[in-house]
Amino acid sequence: MSDYLFPPFPVAAVPVRGEAALFPLRRIFCVGRNYEAHAKEMGVAVDREAPFYFMKDASAYVSSGATIPYPPGTTNFHYEMELVVAIGQGGFRIPQAAALNHVYGYACGMDMTRRDLQIQARDKQRPWDLGKNFENAAVLSAIVPPSQCGHPAAGKIELSVNGTVKQSSDLSLLIHSVPVLIAHLSNFYHLQAGDLIYTGTPEGVGPVLAGDQISGSIEGIGSIALTLGPAE
Ligand code: MN
């Protein structure tokens, strides 16, 4: 049996409410512009025909309650509050009608974004990685199984900074619903247990600064918190 040249990095893993075992993370898919009012505030048109995606490495995961440093390379660091779907059963070309059978659970997520770098990339028609996929950029609460929360198609989604509400919307305003996303994404990837889908953020995104306390909640799912420390 061959050895490794150096220790392989540990698997990122997420707590599950009411369960001792952790949910091991595989891939993080993120949906862009999935609420009309957020697309509008970003100055772009919505594509109702089909969702689009970008990805974050599982190593970008950070748990709710963490304090993270203000990230390098940006002067416009933004929060994006999102419903996250955790895949528990893999599948390929999943029919919409069967899509929810593949869900392990739901969580609150924050898709943290270096907005200045994302917009520069967007405007130059370059990939979004520098703006979206970086250390501590995928904040996640504990995962809640449908036995505790059902499959939420509606419910309040909110985010506050230092106690002031910045985002307040409803899951019913998702352009592409959870079953649609799972069915569509599974045409392009063999979805696997451990995959996450960040389903997109509503309007009201904005910058945060060192010292800020960010908190969010989704009706029926729970809450999420993040503290921003100084730059390294
Ligand atoms: Mn997002």
Which carries the bigger pLDDT value, residue 49 or residue 1? 49
- The answer to whether position 3 is within a domain reads no
- The answer to whether position 177 is within a domain reads yes
Ligand 1 center–CA 84 separation, angstroms? 10
- The answer to whether position 4 is within a domain reads no
Convert the pLDDT of each residue in 93-112 to its tens digit: 999 999 999 999 999 999 99
Please give the Cα distance from 162 to 81 (Å, whole number). Answer: 15
| CATH number of the CATH domain containing 63 | 3.90.850.10
Ligand 1 center–CA 101 separation, angstroms? 24
**Count of structural domains, the chain:** 1
Ligand 1 center–CA 34 separation, angstroms? 8
Convert the pLDDT of each residue in 212-230 to its tens digit: 999 999 999 999 999 999 9
Sign of CA dihedral 173, 176, 179, 182: negative
Q: How far, in Å, are 52, 112, 214 from residue 40 at the CA level?
A: 16, 19, 23
Which residues does 42 contact at the CB level (< 8 Å), separation at least 6? 33
Q: Which of 203, 216, 205, 212 is nearest to 116 (CA)?
A: 205
**Which residues lie near ion ligand 1 (Cβ < 5 Å)?**
80, 111, 201
The separation between CA 4 and the C-alpha centre of its own chain, rounded to angstroms, equals 32
- The answer to whether position 40 is within a domain reads yes
Question: How would you classify residue 200: left for phi > 0, otherwise alpha for psi between -120 and 50, otherwise beta?
Answer: left
Q: What pTM value is reported for the model?
A: 0.97
Ligand 1 center–CA 164 separation, angstroms? 20
Convert the pLDDT of each residue in 136-169 to its tens digit: 999 999 999 999 999 999 999 999 999 999 999 9
- The answer to whether position 8 is within a domain reads no
Domain span including residue 162: 13-229
Read off the amino acid at residue 88: G
User: Is residue 144 within 8 Å of 17, Cβ to Cβ?
Assistant: yes
